[in-house]
Amino acid sequence: MIRLLSLALALFLTVPVAATAQSLQDILQTHQDKVLKPGRRTVGVVLDDLIASGLPQALPFLESWRDREIVQRDSDGLFFRVAEDGDTVTLEDLDTGETLTANADGFTESRPNGGVRRAIGDALVQFQLSDPDIAKRQAAVAAIARSMDASQLAPLAASIEGEPDAALKQTKTRLAGMLGALFADTTNARVAAIEALSGDLSVDVRAVLNTILASSETVAATIPGGTNVAQMLVVGADLTETEAYDRLIIADLADPLITKTQIRDALIANIDGDTVAGIPVGTLNTDAARALAYDLLAADGIVPPRVDETTRAEAIAAHSFYVAYAEPDTAITDAARTALTAIKTKVGFSQAADLGLDALSLASIYFLAAIGLAITFGVMGVINMAHGEFIMMGAYTGFVVQQFVPDYTLSIIIALPLAFVITFGAGVLMERTVIRHLYHRPLETLLATFGISIALQQLAKNIFGTQARPLTSPEWLDGALIFNDVVAISYIRVAIFVLALVFLCIILFILKRTRLGLEVRAVTQNPGMAASMGINPDRINMLTFGLGSGIAGIAGVAIGLYAQVTSEMGASYIVQSFMTVVVGGVGNVWGTLAGASLIGFLQKGIEWLNPSNTLAAQTYMILFIILFIQFRPKGIVALKGRAAAD
């Protein structure tokens, strides 16, 4: 059947109906009994003839036959497609498509069983591989991928060259490679297919290679010729003596061990008066005496012989214990093992790269959340526990904008500067009304800002409720950037990473290239000297606090695209923000970047080592940071000037 498939597919596409010497009805009449009462063993003959005919009407017939819509008219034996309508039926000619109605009596229905219907389905797949409808071709390829049957290799390979869709052609080629690795006719063809798969990291390719390398542990006195041995098992290293002898027993290569309980039961069953095998029962009070009596019974053939340690050791030594591949060809298993080893190595590197991308993404989120706090904390020395609520305000700003601007791309463009303006104003208001009266009083500042954070959370609950609000990303941020089957990162995370880089550049420009930045650095390093040079430290503190709050608002819009927008979302980032600032170095942009990178990579690394317990991962991370601060209290990048003196 297989050798005809490639030719059949070509005929199906190229041979016109008028050129064929017979109709579909002629073929069916040749196999009347097999069509009317098909069996799993006989249906193949009908399918072969239908495929070889190249008739375009064969495809709809197979679909109807599979769906039990074919009947035979008792009067002349002709077959029709049928649709029932009460006491009458509508018959359709299988060649011309003409219809007629008739009484329901006088027709016999063809009812293929499950096995026959599966065989018909396989034949349909072969037709559908070159169907003009791409949906049917995709369905056929998916069906082959599910079944992975040897009979599908030839028609699949024949359909690749004429496949017009590039993506589907690539899928067909890849699937044909997997089928070739399993079922190609020659060793060289299978080895070539396996080597071609060595760069594919997908799970299904690894499953194919593992199928080829399927093995089982076995034992034999002499390893049969032609056995493809994967590994010899050494007793004492790979197997204990007990495990080895148990395998001999299971394989009926050795007698089972006789336990003490079995010896006792056998002796009780064979008591003759007051003796067992001529030994007085009263003397059978030791294991050795009972074993001797049992051996005497075994010598008379009354009970199975007892296996002693010497016999067991001899039996084990006389046999070979090994792992044998189910695939007998060593060239194929060698190629599969080499390919799988290469794939596992690439998967390991890819997993490390994927973990690195996740860590880099998390670090960029922490950097966005902490950079505003780094500015206010570094310049002003203010412990702002309400910083997380500025992030929350920015996220809710994005949500409100999207209620009025349905275009998600435009809404994000509007929300970013608007969130900055709103949170900048809120930060300035907070600094003017509360913070300015608490300078150099860190405990009171902490308590005051903590109270403000609670008030802002409650205000958000009163306005927006407790339910999470969606901040929808634009369509162009849907999906993920996929490098291979292991390494992928969502476009939203890529966008957040890019936004973090943009803000790093903007903040460095402000601090290094603008008058405001110069004044901020002056106040940071020596406020008294800055004041004597005509700089107003009070004004700089206000603008700095507003700038830090505004940046937090923008971070809130970005984080809202990734996380749930709730009134408590700021609390999820305040701890990490403070850790980022302290570990990186207070008041230093580069230090904040270093701290965010350290915490992001550390957290992902701990989660990878302990993936089942994220709470434990958080705990270990905090402990590590506490130890880190003990050895480097000023952070990774220590600030010179006032902060250093403090």
Over residues 61-89, the pLDDT tens digits come to 888 888 888 888 888 888 888 877 667 78
pLDDT at 641 over 80: no
CA R_g for the chain: 40
pLDDT of 18 > 50? The answer is: no
Judged against a pLDDT cut of 70, whether residue 10 lies above it is answered with no
For residue 597, which of 636, 552, 553 has the smallest C-alpha distance?
A: 636
For the beta sheet containing 79-85, the strands, ordered from the edge strand earlier in sequence to the opposite edge, are 99-103, 88-93, 79-85, 70-73, 107-109
Pair 606, 620: CB distance under 8 Å: yes
pLDDT single digits (tens) 363-405:
888 888 888 888 777 667 778 888 889 999 999 999 999 999 8
Share of the chain above pLDDT 90, in %: 16
How many Å apart are CA 317 and CA 245, to the nearest integer?
10
User: Average of pLDDT values for 219-242?
Assistant: 89
For residue 464, pLDDT over 50 is answered with: yes
Residue 418 has pLDDT above 90, yes or no: yes
DSSP 8-state code for residue 202 = -
Across 38-42, 495-499, 601-605, 636-640, least confident range: 636-640
Residue range 402-422: mean pLDDT, rounded: 91
Residue 39 CA from chain centroid, whole number: 41
With beta carbons less than 8 A apart as the criterion, state whether 59 and 95 touch.
no
Instruction: Look at residue 583 and tell me whether its pLDDT is greater than 80.
Output: yes
- Please, are residues 177 and 196 in contact by the beta-carbon 8 Å criterion? yes
Above pLDDT 70, what percent of the chain? 93
Q: Name the β-bridge partners of 70.
A: 81
Mean pLDDT of the chain: 83
Dihedral angle, C-alpha 349, 352, 358, 362, nearest 10 °: -140
Q: How far apart are CA 369 and CA 394, in angstroms?
A: 11
Q: Is 633 exposed, middle or buried (0-12, 13-18, 19+ CB in 10 A)?
A: exposed
Select the more confidently predicted residue: 336 or 517.
336
Q: Mean pLDDT over residues 536-548, rounded?
A: 85
What mean pLDDT comes out for the span 232-249? 89
pLDDT value at residue 393:
93
Report residue 93 as tokens: 């000619």
Nearest 10 degrees: Cα torsion 140, 141, 146, 147: 70
pLDDT category at 1 given cuts 50, 70, 90 is very low
Give whichever of 17-31, 128-142, 346-360, 435-449 has the largest mean pLDDT.
Answer: 346-360
Q: How confident is the model at residue 638 (pLDDT cuts 50, 70, 90)?
A: low
Contact call for residues 487 and 360 (beta carbons, < 8 A) = no
Question: Is pLDDT above 50 for 563?
Answer: yes
Task: Tell me the C-alpha distance between 543 and 211, whole Å.
Answer: 66
Of residues 263, 280, 283, 264, the one with CA closest to residue 272:
280
pLDDT at 232: 92
DSSP state of 4: G
Which residue pairs from 351-356 have beta carbons closer than 8 angstroms and sit at least 24 positions apart in sequence?
Answer: 351/486, 353/483, 353/486, 353/487, 354/486, 354/487, 354/488, 354/489, 355/604, 355/605, 355/608, 356/601
For residue 96 the two structure tokens come to 């011309």
Predicted model pTM: 0.69
Choose among 101, 111, 120, 140: nearest CA to 43. Answer: 120
Exposure b/e, 264-286, CB count within 10 A at least 16 = b:
eebbeebeeeeebbeeeeeebee
User: Mean pLDDT over residues 271-300, rounded?
Assistant: 83
Question: How far is 94 from 22, CA to CA, in rounded Å?
Answer: 13
CA atoms of 490 and 481, how far apart (whole Å): 6
Write down the pLDDT at residue 639: 57
